[in-house]
Amino acid sequence: MEILIEILRLLVSVLIAICVGKLVARIGLPSILGWLVTGIVIGPYALDLLNNAVLDSSWFSATESILECIFGLMIGTELIWKEMKQAGSRIVVTTITESVGTFIVVSLVFALFFHFAGIPLYLAFMMGAIALATAPAPSLSVVQNLKTDGPVTRTLIPMAALDDLVGALVFFLTIAFVTAHISTAGVPVWAVLLLVFSPVVIGAVIGFITGLMLRRTAKGAPTLITMLVMLLVSAGTGFVLNSVLPAPVINFMLIGMSFSTVFANMIDKDKLDEMMKVMNPVIGIAMVPVILDLAAPLDYHLIFGAGLYTAVYIISRAVGKYFGAWVGSVATNAPKTVRRYLGFTLLPHSGVSLVFTGIAVSVLEGPAPECATIIQGTIAAAAIINEIIAVFMAKKGFEWAGELGQAGKYVEDETA
């Protein structure tokens, strides 16, 4: 009976979020802003409709992970090697410059503040490692909701996959060094590599098997069913791996991305297009509970308690993202719109940042509880404030680039 009530709470929450999203869309803002605000308002710290009983339940965690895998299809099915070959090096270089640029800017700024405040400098590097992560869901929901297409959109989509990898690698390496510094139990290198690359390996291996199966499957329902069953197999493998790790840190969106990237490059374009025509509305619906799960745990009271560190974090991260993307775009001779506006689409942050913050706090709360409090309070407050600003700026970035409503038109204009 309790599970049925929890499921009802989730369904009502999703329905409210969809309605609020439609109202927000009517005034020219992305629907995700409505979903984010709804999640905060109906979450445990406000109306408590989407309460901790739901958010902490095993069924919701499993459902949300599967939805993240489904959401990963949106990115992976766009990463067609034949179409990416020319822009491949540009995307890799820009991903590295914006990620590393953010890490350097945030780390240096906080190192300066912490030096004068007498706070251990390793905390500055942990701030920088958390800051470089980008949450692809908000910006990609703008892409789908507002039907964007063009150079910025086509750079952002593959970057979303690579950015998660670079972010996870830098974060876990930083955690490994900090752990080794503050305790005798360091994190082994093999564990870092496992956490970063295991979702990609899981998705790629099962995606390859799926691609072989899809080549022999007739178009229509058999193709779709085969893909969905194998997607569930990918998610199930992720669940098994999570169960043997000290903390559930496997990135299911990365599993979905790598899974779909591999099979999408192995089958006919017609078969892929037919499949995604059915899946795109499903992806749109899957976004809503994923965003609610990001927003509901955010305590709006932290906005009023946000201090200097929160402001510094938000500003330094935005500077690092924007100019890091600009440097990479200039270095690779990207179109002017990419140079000027890509950085704005990389500002969303909350989901990944909160996961990384939880891991950082678990490392610090024993040997350095005062540092754990600083990092937890700063990132939690920044997650709320930054996310609302970031989604608006992502929408403006696409608008300034002239890419709103261009889905299905950009290729025609480019070849005209």
* Distance of alpha carbon 328 from alpha carbon 305, whole angstroms: 36
What is residue 167's predicted lDDT score, i.e. its pLDDT?
Answer: 80
Distance, in Å, from the CA atom of 93 to the CA atom of 87, rounded to the nearest integer, reads: 10
| Structural domain harbouring 208 | 2-415
Average pLDDT for residues 263-280, to the nearest whole number?
Answer: 88
CA quadruple 78, 236, 247, 65: dihedral sign: positive
Matching residue, tokens 């169960």 = 243
Q: How far apart are CA 142 and CA 139, in angstroms?
A: 5
Whole-number mean pLDDT of the chain? 83
Q: How far apart are CA 302 and CA 310, in angstroms?
A: 10
Query: Average of pLDDT values for 395-400?
Result: 92
Residue from 172, 233, 174 nearest 202 by CA: 233
Q: Exposed, middle or buried by CB within 10 Å (0-12, 13-18, 19+), for 300?
A: middle
Contacts for 196 with CB less than 8 Å, ≥ 6 apart: 165, 168, 169, 172
CA atoms of 351 and 341, how far apart (whole Å)? 22
Domains: count for the chain: 1
DSSP one-letter string for 209-252:
HHHHHHHTSPTTHHHHHHHHHHHHHHHHHHHHHHHHSSS----H
The reply to whether the predicted model has a pTM over 0.75 is no
- Which of 178-187, 341-350, 407-416 shows the lowest mean pLDDT across its residues? 407-416
CA distance 200 to 268: 23
Structure tokens at 280: 């795109």
Task: Give the C-alpha distances (Å, rounded to integers) separating 338 from 156, 335, 343.
Answer: 9, 5, 8
pLDDT band at 81 (very low <50, low <70, confident <90, very high): confident
What is the CB-side half-sphere exposure of residue 291 using CA atoms within 13 A? 33
Q: Of the candidates 416, 415, 406, which has an alpha carbon nearest to the alpha carbon of residue 150? A: 406
Q: What span, in angstroms and rounded, lies between the C-alpha atoms of 125 and 107?
A: 5
pLDDT-derived band at 352 (thresholds 50, 70, 90) equals: low
pLDDT score of 184: 47
Tokens of 68: 């993240």
Please give the share of the chain, as a percent, with pLDDT higher than 90: 34
Mean pLDDT of 169-187: 72
Kindly report which listed range (179-188, 300-309, 378-387) carries the lowest average pLDDT score.
179-188
Among 116-120, 167-171, 228-232, 393-397, the range scoring the smallest mean pLDDT is 167-171
385: CB partners within 8 A, 6+ apart: 303, 306, 310, 314
Q: Is the model's pLDDT at 415 over the cut of 80?
A: no
- For 26, the token pair is 């009517």
63-80 tens-digit pLDDT? 988 988 988 887 788 777
Evaluate if residue 168 carries a pLDDT over 80.
no
Task: Render pLDDT for 31-61 as a digit per residue (tens, 0 to 9).
Answer: 877 888 898 899 998 899 999 999 889 899 8
What is the Rg, in whole angstroms, of the alpha carbon atoms belonging to the chain?
21
416 pLDDT tier (thresholds 50, 70, 90): very low
φ and ψ of 69, to 5 deg: -60, -45
pLDDT recorded at residue 66: 92
Separation in Å, CA 171 to CA 77, 130, 162, 211, 336: 27, 6, 14, 32, 31
Please report, rounded to a whole number, the percentage of residues in the chain having pLDDT higher than 70. 88
**CATH number of the domain enclosing 318:** 1.20.1530.20
Mean pLDDT, residues 207-235: 90
Task: Tell me the CA end-to-end span of the chain in Å, nearest whole number.
Answer: 60
Would you say residue 185 has pLDDT above 60?
no
414 — pLDDT class (breaks 50, 70, 90): very low
Q: Which among 42, 151, 55, 121 is positioned nearest to 374, based on CA atoms?
A: 121
**Spatial separation of the C-alpha atoms in residues 329 and 325, rounded to whole Å:** 6
Q: Per the structure block, which two tokens stand in for 208?
A: 């390859």
347: Cα separation from own chain's centroid: 11
**Count of Cβ atoms closer than 10 Å to residue 184 Cβ:** 6
- Using the predicted structure, report yes or no on whether residue 406 has a pLDDT greater than 70: yes
Side-chain half-sphere CA neighbours of 40 within 13 A: 19
Would you say 312 and 102 are in contact if contact means Cβ atoms under 8 Å apart?
Answer: no
Q: How confident is the model at residue 190 (pLDDT cuts 50, 70, 90)?
A: low
